[in-house]
Amino acid sequence: MSDRESMGYDVVIVGAGPAGLSAAIRLKQLAATSGRVLSVCILEKGSEVGAHILSGAVIDPRALDELIPDWKDKGSPLTVPVTENHHWVLTARRKRAMPEFLLPRFMHNKGNYTLSLGNLCRWLAGQAEELGIEIFPGFPAADVLFADDGSVKGVVTGDLGIARDGSRRPDYQPGMELHARYTFFAEGARGSLTKRLTERFGLRDKSGPQVYGLGVKELWDVPADRHKPGRVIHTQGWPLEDAWGGGFLYHQEAGQVALGFVVALDYSNPYLSPFEEMQRWKTHPAVRAEIEGGRRVSYGARAISEGGWRAIPELVFPGGALIGCSAGFLGVPPDQGHAHRDEVRDAGRRSRLRGDRRGPAERPARLLSARPPARVGWKNSTSSATPSRPSPAGRPRRRRSTRGWTYGSASSASSCRGPSSTSPTTRRSSARTMSARSSIQSPTTS
C-alpha cells in the first residue's frame, strides 16, 4: 500500500499535445452522446500547455472539421491560409524550384493553414476545459503504476523538492498517484514511459523498429517587407551530403517565420551535427533572404518518429494505449522537407492532429549538392586511430533519369579513397560559410 495521495479518473492522458488533447475531447464528446459521465485528466510536463511545442506547422483542417466542426466560429488559430507553396532543391549557391504540378498531391497544401502548433494546443486546451476535462500543467508523469494482475492502473507524478544530489529539501513533496481505468500515453517520440511499456508488454514483437530524425527549429521576427503570410517553403539537397533530411520555412501571423531543419538519425558520419547543418542551411542565399534583418526569438529541438506504417507497434495493452507520436503516428510523407523515392497515396496527407498512421516510411533520395561539405572523406580512414581530414568530392555531373534531368556528384562519400588533406578551396568555402553565418545571427538573439 502506497503512502502517496491518490486521485481516481476514468481516463488519464499523459501529454497535452495535439494527440492527447484531441483524444480527451473526443472521449468527452462520445460520453455526452451516450449520456454517460466520464472523468478525464491530462498531465503536461511543461509549465503551460504548448510550452514544449515550438514548431510551426502546416495543418490540414480535415481532422479538425471532424473533431470540432464549428472551429472557425470558436476563435481557432487557423487564420493564415497557405497562399504560396514552394519546394526548392538547393545547391551551395543556387536553388531550383520544382513546379507544383510535378509534386505529389499531398504536397500541394491547397486549403491548408500555417500556424504555431503551440498556439493550436493552447486553443485545444481551452476547448477541452469547456468540456470539463482537467488539465494539470507542470506535472510530468514519472512512472507507471501496475495492478496486481499486471495491467496498467495509472501513473505517478514526479516528486517535488529534490536537491541536485538527490536528497530531499525542506519543501519536499511526494508525487501523487493518478488511478484510471484506462491510461493513454501521448508523451511524444521516445517517451520514457512508452519505452518501459514497450519492453514490458512486447509491443514491438511484431513490428519493425522505429527510426528517428532530429528537428532543430527556430522562430524569427522578420521585417514587414520580408514577411509574406501564408508563404510555405520546403527544401532538400544542400547542405546535406551523406545524410537524409531537409528544411522548411513557414510565414505565420504576427510577422513571424517558423523555420527548421530535420536530419534523419541514421547517419554514420561522426562529424555530422544536425545543429551545425541547420546553421549552414541558413546561410544559403535563398534561405537567408527570407529572414535577413530579423531576430530569433526562440529555438529548440525534438525527436521525430519517421518509421511510418512498418514501425507501428501494438497500440493497446491491458489498461492503456499508445497514441500520437508515442505510437509513431507522424505522417512521414507530408513531412515535406524530405524527398521520397516512392510515390505515396494521398491518404498520407492527413495532419498530425488525427495521427493517421498510413504511408510508407521510405528514405529520401540522395540529391548531391554542387559543393559537398569538406567532411566526406572520413569513411575510409577508419583503419587509423584518428579519422583523416576529408577531401572535397568531384564536380557535379548531369545524368539522365527516368523522370527528367537530375543532378549528382562525380564522386560521393563512399567513393573517397584513403586519407587526404583539405584543399585550399574547401578551406576558403568553410571560411565563407562561417562568415555568412556570423552575419545572419544577430548579437541580440537568444
Residue 75 belongs to a domain: no
- How large is the average pLDDT for residues 62-83? 93
Cβ atoms of 14 and 193 closer than 8 Å: yes
Rounded to 5 degrees, φ, ψ at 440 are -80, -45
pLDDT at 334: 58
The better pLDDT of the pair 135, 438 is held by 135
Residue 404 confidence (pLDDT) above 50: no
pLDDT at 84: 93
The better pLDDT of the pair 419, 156 is held by 156
Residue 146 belongs to a domain: yes
Its pTM stands at 0.73
pLDDT at 40: 96
Give the whole-number percent of the chain exceeding pLDDT 70. 74
The better pLDDT of the pair 2, 167 is held by 167
Residue 97, classified by CB atoms within 10 Å of its CB into exposed (0-12), middle (13-18) or buried (19+), is exposed
Residue 431 confidence (pLDDT) above 70: no
Out of 280-284, 299-303, 368-372, 373-377, least confident range: 368-372
SS3 255: coil
Q: What span, in angstroms and rounded, lies between the C-alpha atoms of 432 and 95? A: 18
pLDDT at 175: 87
H helices present in 352-443, as ranges: 424-440
Residue 149 belongs to a domain: yes
The better pLDDT of the pair 109, 331 is held by 109
| Residue 190: CATH number of its domain | 3.50.50.60
Residue 420 confidence (pLDDT) above 80: no
Q: What is the tens place of the pLDDT at every residue in 82-107? A: 999 999 999 999 999 988 888 888 88
Q: Which three cell numbers stand for residue 190?
A: 521516445
Residue 203 belongs to a domain: yes
Residue 293 confidence (pLDDT) above 90: yes
- How large is the average pLDDT for residues 130-144? 93
Cβ atoms of 306 and 329 closer than 8 Å: no
State the pLDDT confidence band at 335, using cuts at 50, 70 and 90.
low
Residue 403 confidence (pLDDT) above 70: no
Kindly provide the residue ranges of all beta strands, DSSP E only, lying in 253-310, ordered along the sequence: 256-264, 295-305
- How large is the average pLDDT for residues 391-418? 35
pLDDT at 343: 25
Residue 444 confidence (pLDDT) above 60: no
Residue 10 belongs to a domain: yes
Q: Which three cell numbers stand for residue 177?
A: 498517484
Residue 412 belongs to a domain: no
Out of 177-186, 190-199, 340-349, 356-365, least confident range: 340-349
DSSP β-bridge partners for residue 234: 87, 248
Q: Tell me what the pLDDT averaged over the chain comes to.
A: 77
pLDDT at 372: 36
- How large is the average pLDDT for residues 14-35? 95
pLDDT at 424: 39
Q: What is the tens place of the pLDDT at every residue in 147-161? A: 999 999 999 998 888
Residue 258 belongs to a domain: no
Q: What is the tens place of the pLDDT at every residue in 219-245? A: 999 999 999 999 999 999 999 988 889
Q: Which DSSP symbol is given to 422?
A: P
Residue 166 belongs to a domain: yes
- Domain range for 15 is 6-60+117-209+307-330
pLDDT at 440: 43
Count of the separate structural domains present in the chain: 1
Q: What is the tens place of the pLDDT at every residue in 368-402? A: 233 333 333 333 333 333 333 344 444 444 333 33
pLDDT at 445: 37
Residue 353 confidence (pLDDT) above 80: no
